[in-house]
Chain A
């Protein structure tokens, strides 16, 4: 897994995501979720490609319940895009690489 990725938590979410000066891609995942593992290499790639322009954060929904509940997460993988502390977009399930790159590019 890439060093560029921040593993956040209920407690750290505000600092890691909401107060971030960069746009943030948050990946809600769990170890038992096959599709989450499927998109993990793509998330790593984005973190490397957009280093310095995009912050990439992962939230393990097994260990953190508050933040997923706050954003109504009922399925994983769910990817949320934040800018200036606000949730801009939500992407549910496994999506093709291009669709994710397009979504991210809008906020850079």
Chain B
């Protein structure tokens, strides 16, 4: 028995849940499929400071919990299932998932993104042994140690500032000669006595036996290599969109994000995208919410014209 819905949203991060609130209020039979539990990338952050309405900031888990309850209040149902394939047959979208099959008149791709790895030897072996992708999770294990953060965007700067609570020294390894993250974060970074930015530098090698011991850092400008003894390496070099199940179905931009038009529609009828997975969202909770809501309104418009 295939469950039929008006709208199926794939992914229960900020974009998917915000779309769920609107789709529910539009009285569409709405299902949100999430392979893990609601939240997504934002759960790797310790504190959300820039989401409007929370002047003192909010814990990401509490924010997401609010989104989830609000979506469910208006009738959206959230199921734990991983979508593996998507196909259009007889004017409906058919979704094959790990635990069942589903069909819907419109589908919103809101699968988000996952953190990017450095791609260096021993990175996988030493993950959880000094190499980390989540300062919030692992920072406390590095109390009194020297650590490094790779990257220069919002997430890297937030991680570096968080790590100063525990580490004795935090090196930021950044391949350019200026940071990219929010100016307010840059100000805090440059003024912080525990933080030192290694400009124009990349990590070339990761070294360690049972746990991480040091890095080989390459200064790109001077073409000079030097060892950097650190107990922790926090990798924060961006994310890749999660698009496995729509490969070959929609168009992508050069970063692998799903191309959408000004109504958040993809190149396929009744197939929309929002949040980090789309090419219309600058990786903020607020923009994920914005694009999710926009997509839900466009879906409403689309379904009413059918």
A residues contacting B by CB (< 8 A) are 30, 32-41, 61-62, 68, 72-78, 90, 92-94, 96-97
Contact = CB atoms under 8 A, between A and B. Distances in A.
B211 A72 contact: yes
Given A34-B61, A38-B39, A74 B211 contact: yes
A74 B127 CA distance: 9
Interface residues of B, number: 31
B196 to A, nearest CB: 22
Given A74-B138, A75-B141, A90 B37 contact: no
Contact of B128 (A32, A41, A61, A90): A90
A74 B141 contact: yes
Nearest to B64: A34
A75 B127 contact: yes
17 contacts: A34-B39, A34-B45, A34-B60, A36-B137, A37-B39, A38-B36, A41-B37, A61-B141, A62-B140, A73-B128, A74-B130, A74-B138, A74-B232, A75-B134, A92-B129, A93-B133, A94-B36
Contacts of B70: none
Contacts of A75: 127-129, 131-132, 134, 137-138, 141
B137 A76 contact: yes
Given A73-B141, A76-B138, A37 B43 contact: yes
B86 interface: no
Given A75-B128, A75-B141, A32 B136 contact: yes
Nearest to B60: A34
